[in-house]
Structure 1
Amino acid sequence: MFIKDFIRINRLRFFFITLLSVLSGVGGILAGYIQMYWLTYIKDQEWIKTAIATTLMVICWFFAQSVIYFVQYLNNVQEEELFKKNRDQIAKHYFKDQKFHKVSAFQNRLTNDFNIIKDSYYEWYIIIPFYGSMFVASLLALITIHWSIFALSLIIDVISYFLPKLISKRLEKATTNLSNKNNDYLNVLSKWFSGLAELKRYSACGKLLLVQSQSSKKLEKANVNQIQQQQLLNIINGISMLLSTIILLGTTGILVEQKLAVFGAILSVQNFATNVSVGMQEMIQGLTMMKSVKSLMQKVNVDAMPTSLSNKNNVKPPFSIEIHDLELSFPNGEVLKYPDLKINQGEKVLLTGDSGSGKTTLFKLILGIVKPSHGTIIFKDKKGNIIQPDMSKIGYIPQDPQLFPGTIKQNITMFNENLNQKVEPVLKLVTLSKDLKQFTNGVDTTLNLDNLNISGGQRQKVVLARAEVHNSQLLLIDEGTGAVDHQNTLNILRNLLQKDITIVFVAHSFDKNMKKLFDREIRL
């Protein structure tokens, strides 16, 4: 997301943004330069020259003011196209990098971080050529008035350049901290407000407001700190500008008195001096602000880097699993240890254990959602060879199935139209056909995720159908029929367990008849 990426979005538009920014700055200084002679013509009562100078001043001022607004528009268009491209790249990267990303971190990256970069980098880009051209044009105007004015301006500007460096590091640190605190705040909201209904049920409003307030206070403190650093930078720039104006204006008065400069220079030099000082300060502030988000932009660039899914030529469908010395350590010091397990091809295993024994966590370890602290998980193909598993062939039915905006059919095929013809036979396998009769559009019914229009059991059946349609060779079911009635659960189990695939089923309340359907039981 650095300036080279900004240029590549539209090179011609970038050229006009820069060129028109420069011309706008020069136009403003040219109007001020004409004003110097305009005042002199008025003093000398040369009215024709006064009229000509007035006309030229108006044209220059109008050009400078109107063009800068057009430049801001072009710059905003360039920004939004760059951000759109980077948001798309980040979304692809997060999808393909095979890592687990918190929703709050994803939201923070695509919203708050982009806003910080916009305000602290790209919004300042047009300011640099605009004020840079004003700075150069003002210096040229000053040297035409008298060399001493020009020399004083250079000395003052050199001093002004180094003053803001006193806080540049602090401003960069404050900007990075603001991004981190905003990420923390979104993470807190994600964790607590996702369970808002449950908190309401137990009247736990006090706790919700407390954690939100505590996190909000940290974010507020980070915001205030960044604003303080920005204001300190503005104060330093303001003091420098004031001293510059006083020194240059006093010197000009002496020159006019000695008739070494025209009368109009008294007012114009003040404007030129202000523009030199403002031009220098704005450029420095712009560069400082742009530098302050450098580390953040580097992080965004890393997330926007192209990545690819695992090479399908090197992965194979997994048929069996072996677990050796598997452990997962928690921040509180507890360690979850698993016994060595071997689940053979085609085996139907019932996984049981007390609450907290790690059944769901084991599935997440197998799927790579959670990384083990120690030990290995080995996948083997149909011939018993160790392989890199094709995760798309591992079906996973969690306790709370994940559905997406779309129809029931699309949630089964996961938006792959090539699988549409496989949906109908699978509906019978998971006993979903009868349920669909209550919907006018059947399998083409659009799901309402805000006010879910299917039951919990139907959701589980949809996800079971999803795994079947995608030819999962290894099926991990975590209480996948917990919301389905006893008879339908029995029918689903009989249908699934007849298939020549490997199934690991987590359950708590199976009766003896259900347990008999499995080859064996593993208790954690």
Structure 2
Amino acid sequence: MSFKGFINTNRLRFFFITILSILSGISGILAGYIQMYWLTYIKENNWTEVAITTGLMALCWFFAQSVIYFVQYLNNIQEEEYFKNLRDRIAEHYFEDGKLHKVSDFQNRLTNDFEIVKNNFFEWYVIVPFYGSMLVASLIALISIHWSIFILSLLIDIISYFLPKLIDKKLEKATIKVSERNNEYLATLSHWFSGLNELRRYFAGAKLLEVQNSSAKKLEKANVNQVVQQQLLTILNGVGELLSTIVLLGATGILVEHKVIIFGAILSVQNFANNVSFGMQTTIQGLTMMRSAKPLMAKISKDVEPMSVQKKTSVEIPYVIETHNLALKFPNGETLQYPDLKINQGEKILLMGDSGSGKTTLFKLLLGIIEPSQGKVKFKNKNNEEINPDFSKIGYIPQEPNLFPGTIKQNITMFDNELNSKVKRAIEEVKLDSDIKKFKNGANTELDLNKLNISGGQRQKIVLARAKIHGSKIILIDEGTSAIDQKATFSILKNLLQSEATIVFIAHNFNENIRNLFDREIKL
């Protein structure tokens, strides 16, 4: 995310945004300059000139006011088009980087972070050239009236420029803190409200409210701190404005009294001075706000970058999976230490171990979903050479299967229409055919993820069929048949284990018949 990217969204529109903002600011100052002569003509009873200058003032004011609203409209279009492009690229980046991303992180990045950058950077872009042009035009107007007024105004502006720098870094930190606290708040909601029914069942509402309230207070504190820093910036700007009013009004009065400048200047100089002061302060405030958003923009930019060529190197189907000195350390200080493992192609392995021994975590380490604290997972080919694995050929059936909005067929094929002809056989192999017959539209039944119009066992069978139809050469099953009765489980496993695929199966409850289907056991 960058200013250059914003410009390149539509260069011609950006040109009009900039030029019209500048012209609008200049037009407002021109109206004030004409007002100086208008006031003098009134004092001199020159009514013809009064009428002309009145018309010119009205024309300048109308142009200044109407054009700036049109510019804001154009800027909003430019923003939304740029943000749409960024959201697409971030989604693509998150998809391709192969890392596990929390839903709350993704939501925060695409909503709150974009809103912060919009308010603190891109919304200010229209304001900066508008008030910047007013500042320059006002200084030109002042020097045309008298050099001493210009010098005084310039000195005051220099003071005004350096005052906001006192809180520059604090405002930047406050902006980043809002993003971080919002991310934490979204994560808290995700962690706790996903188990809302369970909390209700055990009357744990007090704890839910406690953690939600605690997280909300941190977010509130971050927002308040940001507002405090913004208010301090406003106060510092106000000091500069007060200084400008006192000094310049007194100096102008002296010059008018000595007939060095015309009578109308006594009002116009103050207006110009106010415009210089306000233009300087607003421009500085805008630049300060824009700078405060840059660290966050830099973070967003990392999520926008396309994946490197190295990430997209050729991949192969693993023949052997090995782990060496593999361990995972948790924030609470506990460490899961794994024995060195070797899984050969075609092996059918039963993975066992007490609860908490790290069976599910091992699968996630093998799949690269989480990174180990030490050690390494190695994938090798037939020649015992280390390779980059083709994860699309590694099927994973987790305890809670992942289904997506769409039909049963689409969830099996993962939206690959070329696999439609293989759906019927895959459904039969995982014993889903009898379930399919219960649905009016069969495999074309739309899944309702909110109301869950299928059972837990049916969900598991769909994911098993998904692994089969995609020709997975390695299938990791984490209690993937726990919701299926033992008779059907035995039949499904017997079918699966007759294939050439490497299968590693985690199960807590299994009988001797199921146990005898496997080549060997690994106990953690």
Aligned-partner Cα distance in 2 for 1:122–1:517: 63
Aligned to 1:82: 82
For the residue of structure 1 that corresponds to 2:100, the secondary structure is coil
Q: Deviations over 1:434-470 (max 9, x none)?
A: 1111111111111111111111000000000111111
Which one is further off, 394-403 or 41-50? Answer: 41-50
For the residue of structure 2 that corresponds to 1:293, the secondary structure is helix
1:197 shift after superposition: 1.3
For the residue of structure 2 that corresponds to 1:100, the secondary structure is coil
Which one is further off, 411-420 or 467-476? Answer: 411-420
1:299 shift after superposition: 0.7
Aligned to 1:10: 10
Aligned to 2:59: 59
| Mapped contact 1:320–1:502 kept (Cα < 8 A) | no
For the residue of structure 1 that corresponds to 2:387, the secondary structure is strand
Aligned to 2:333: 333
Aligned to 1:488: 488
Structure 2: runs of 5 or more not aligned: none
Aligned-partner Cα distance in 2 for 1:51–1:516: 104
Aligned to 2:155: 155
C-alpha spacing 1:310/1:480, structure 2 compared with 1 (3 Å): farther
Aligned-partner Cα distance in 2 for 1:279–1:312: 50
Aligned to 2:108: 108
Letter in 2 for 1:455: S
Aligned to 1:217: 217
For the residue of structure 1 that corresponds to 2:518, the secondary structure is coil
- Superposed, 1:117-156 pairs within 5 Å as 117-156=117-156
C-alpha spacing 1:312/1:34, structure 2 compared with 1 (3 Å): closer
Aligned to 2:275: 275
Say whether 1:357 aligns with 2:384. Answer: no
Aligned to 2:345: 345
| Mapped contact 2:99–2:370 kept (Cα < 8 A) | no
Aligned-partner Cα distance in 1 for 2:471–2:313: 18
Which one is further off, 5-14 or 370-379? Answer: 370-379
| Mapped contact 2:170–2:229 kept (Cα < 8 A) | yes
Q: Deviations over 1:391-423 (max 9, x none)?
A: 111000001000011111111111111211121
Q: Deviations over 1:173-205 (max 9, x none)?
A: 111111111111111111111111111111111
Aligned-partner Cα distance in 2 for 1:241–1:218: 35
Aligned to 1:192: 192
| Mapped contact 2:9–2:81 kept (Cα < 8 A) | yes
Q: Deviations over 1:83-127 (max 9, x none)?
A: 111111111111111112111111111111111100010111111
| Mapped contact 1:326–1:372 kept (Cα < 8 A) | yes
Q: TM-score, normalised by structure 1?
A: 0.98
Aligned to 1:366: 366
- Superposed, 1:181-330 pairs within 5 Å as 181-307=181-307, 314-330=314-330
Aligned to 2:424: 424
For the residue of structure 1 that corresponds to 2:477, the secondary structure is strand
Q: How many equivalent residue pairs? A: 524
| Mapped contact 1:98–1:309 kept (Cα < 8 A) | no
Aligned-partner Cα distance in 1 for 2:514–2:150: 94
Q: Work out the percentage of aligned pairs sharing the same amino acid.
A: 67
| Mapped contact 1:319–1:502 kept (Cα < 8 A) | no
For the residue of structure 2 that corresponds to 1:148, the secondary structure is helix
Aligned-partner Cα distance in 1 for 2:182–2:236: 28
1:40 shift after superposition: 1.1
| Mapped contact 2:24–2:65 kept (Cα < 8 A) | yes
1:267 shift after superposition: 1.1
Aligned-partner Cα distance in 2 for 1:313–1:274: 61
Aligned-partner Cα distance in 2 for 1:385–1:229: 58
Q: Deviations over 1:211-245 (max 9, x none)?
A: 11111111111111111111001001011111101
| Mapped contact 1:319–1:473 kept (Cα < 8 A) | no
Aligned to 2:413: 413
| Mapped contact 2:252–2:266 kept (Cα < 8 A) | yes
Q: TM-score, normalised by structure 2?
A: 0.98
Which one is further off, 379-388 or 454-463? Answer: 379-388
Letter in 2 for 1:76: N
Q: Deviations over 1:264-306 (max 9, x none)?
A: 1111111111001001111111111111111111111111111
Aligned to 1:389: 389
| Mapped contact 1:97–1:309 kept (Cα < 8 A) | no
Letter in 1 for 2:238: G
For the residue of structure 1 that corresponds to 2:388, the secondary structure is strand
Letter in 2 for 1:47: W
Aligned to 1:164: 164
Letter in 2 for 1:210: E
C-alpha spacing 1:79/1:313, structure 2 compared with 1 (3 Å): closer
For the residue of structure 2 that corresponds to 1:505, the secondary structure is strand
Structure 1: runs of 5 or more not aligned: none
Q: Deviations over 1:126-153 (max 9, x none)?
A: 1111011111111111112111111111
1:11 shift after superposition: 0.5
For the residue of structure 2 that corresponds to 1:389, the secondary structure is coil
Letter in 1 for 2:91: A
Aligned-partner Cα distance in 2 for 1:261–1:368: 77
Aligned to 1:50: 50
Say whether 1:452 aligns with 2:484. Answer: no
Aligned-partner Cα distance in 2 for 1:311–1:237: 49
1:21 shift after superposition: 0.3
| Mapped contact 1:97–1:308 kept (Cα < 8 A) | no
Letter in 2 for 1:298: A
For the residue of structure 2 that corresponds to 1:503, the secondary structure is strand
1:312 shift after superposition: 6.5
C-alpha spacing 1:506/1:246, structure 2 compared with 1 (3 Å): same
1:324 shift after superposition: 2.5
